Amino acid sequence: MTINLKEKERLDELQRNGYRIIQNPEKFCFGMDAVLLSGFTRAKKGSKVLDLGTGTGIIPILLSAKTQAAHLTGLEIQGESVDMARRSVAINGLEEKITIVQGDIKEAGKLLGAASFDVVTCNPPYMIGQHGLVNPQAPKAIARHELLCTLEDVVAQTAKLLKPGGNFFMVHRPFRLTEIMVLLHQYGLEPKRMQMVHPYVNQEPNMVLMEANRGGKSRIRVEKPLIIYQEQGVYTPEIYEIYGY
C-alpha cells in the first residue's frame, strides 16, 4: 500500500511480524516503557484488550503480534496521535483486529462500555502536575505529566471497564508505588504481580510493572528484577528477547 507520511513524520520498524509504526519525534515517540509493558502483559486467546492513552498505538500493535487476543482497542485524546495510530494500523493490515478511538480516559467507561474488556493496559503520565513545564499544551507534556488525567482517573475507569476477573497491566515509576497500591486496592483491583526494572544491576529501579485483577484475592507475586543493560550500550538477554531481536 502507499504510505503517506506527513511533515516531520517517520516510519519505524518494530522487529515483530514486520510491523511498522508512524511517529513524529517533535511530538512524542514511544519509549522502552511501552515495549516492556507489552512484554509483561498477558492476554489469553480470544480476549478483548483495551489500551488507555494509546498514543500512536504502539501497545496494541505490539500485543497483536505477541498475543492471541481477538481484538484490541486503543483510546487516545490527542487528535494527531489518533491519526498516526490509525494510519499505522492500516499500514500493518490490522484494521480488523485493532480499533483506535479518540476520547478522554475520564469518560472511557461511558465511551466503551462497562465490563467490556478482559484486559486493560496503560502507560500513563508519570509526573504530577505542571512543575517544570514550558508548554503544558505540548503533546510530550501531556504524555508525561498528569495534565489531562490522573492516576486515580486511570484506575477508576479501569475498574469500570474490566470484566469481573479481568486483568490490568501498567508501567509506572517506583516513587509512586504506595499510591499505586492504595488506589488499586481502593477500586477493587487487587495487585497480583509486580516486577521492578533497573537500568543496571547495581542501580535502583526506575520503572515498575504491575498486574492487578478485578475482584482478586489478596496475594501478590514479586518477580525477579528486570535489568536493562549488562554494560554501557548492551542490553541484557531478557531485553533483547522482549524487543524481539
Give Cα separations from 6 to 60, 70, 83, 213 (angstroms): 22, 31, 11, 40
Per-residue pLDDT tens for 124-183? 875 666 555 445 555 554 455 445 678 999 999 999 999 999 999 999 999 999 999 999
Per-residue pLDDT tens for 59-105? 999 999 999 999 999 999 999 999 999 999 999 999 999 999 999 99
- The structural domains of the chain, ordered by start, are 10-243 (3.40.50.150)
Indicate the burial class of 244 (C-beta count within 10 angstroms; 0-12, 13-18, 19 or more). Answer: middle
Per-residue pLDDT tens for 198-235? 999 999 999 999 999 999 999 999 999 999 999 998 99
Q: What is the largest CA-CA distance in the chain?
A: 51
Residues 43 and 61: their CA atoms lie apart, in Å, by 13
CB 56 within 8 A of CB 84: yes
Residues 178 and 172: their CA atoms lie apart, in Å, by 12
